[in-house]
Amino acid sequence: MSDERYLTFALCKGRLARKTLELFEKVGITCEEINDPDTRKLIFVNEELKLRFFLAKGPDVPTYVEYGAADIGIVGKDTILEENRKIYEVLDLGFGKCRMCVCGPESARELLNSQERIRVATKYPNIAKDYFYNQKNQTVEIIKLNGSIELAPIVGLSEVIVDIVETGSTLRENGLVVLEEVCPLSARVTVNPVSMRMENARITELLEKLSSCVGGC
Ligand code: PRP
């Protein structure tokens, strides 16, 4: 047991990490110090189970997993699609549910059915490109933004946006609507392909525990 190496988890900072840690606790994986709001530590260890955890910005999680700096990463499907890294997606954790949608004012609906070269603002240029170019066969201009995407059609930067819709309240409060749905999203477990082979027994056991708890246990 003592020569067992650490399994390292990359968690996506914020609400997803809190939900993930709650789920881990339910299956007996605990990490006290990560819950300390005042800590400046970046990496947390459970010596008994030989596990390490760190928090990273969402888009960096698949990068850590692809390079094997983390064996396992927990991140939203939106980030997995956008980053397109060489990692395995192995489990849908069922929380963090939302949708990737094309949104805009109702008046933009007809533009989506035309072959007009409209402007699309988004934090997810790869997802938007794939949707418009490969699925809809519509040539559009994609404008990358870093947040508050709903502003773009309001101030005339773009006709529509591709963005995450959870409750829909941001859209409602800004006079925008869902025009088309791109895909459903939720938190996923990702694994480094080499780790999956080398640590198969430990990772499989962990995934079984987690999947038996998905949706409540
Ligand atoms: C996300 C997303 C929408 C909003 C959707 O933004 O980009 O703006 O949440 O949630 P709702 O449907 O429940 O209103 P986030 O708060 O992550 O910040 P951002 O604008 O900086 O991307």
pLDDT recorded at residue 216: 75
DSSP H helical segments within 85-192, as ranges? Answer: 109-112, 125-129, 151-155, 169-173
Q: Separation of 161 CA from ligand 1 center, angstroms?
A: 12
Report residue 37's pLDDT band, with 50, 70 and 90 as the boundaries. confident
Instruction: Please tell me the predicted confidence (pLDDT) of residue 33.
Output: 82
User: For ligand 1, what atom is nearest to the CA of residue 170?
Assistant: 14
- Per-residue confidence band for 32, with pLDDT thresholds at 50, 70 and 90: confident
**Total residues found in the chain within this entry:** 217
User: What pLDDT was estimated at residue 41?
Assistant: 86
Which of 122, 124, 164 gets mutated to test ligand 1 (max ligand atoms within 8 A of its CB)? 164
Q: What average pLDDT does the chain have?
A: 94
- Decide: pTM greater than 0.85: yes
pLDDT by residue (tens digit) across 158-191?
999 999 999 999 999 999 999 999 999 999 999 9
The set of protein residues with a Cβ atom below 6 angstroms from ligand 1 is 123, 147-150, 163-170
Q: What is the pLDDT of residue 121?
A: 98
pLDDT in tens, 48-68: 999 999 999 999 999 999 999
Q: At residue 6, what are phi and psi to the nearest 5 degrees?
A: -70, 140
Dist CA 91 CA 208 (whole Å): 10
Gap between the Cα atoms of 150 and 174, Å rounded: 7
pLDDT at residue 163, as a whole number = 98
Residue 1 confidence (pLDDT) above 50: no
Query: Which ligand 1 atom sits closest to the C-alpha of 166?
Result: 12
Output the residue whose Cα is nearest ligand 1's atom 20: 148
Ligand 1 centroid distance, CA of 131 (Å): 20
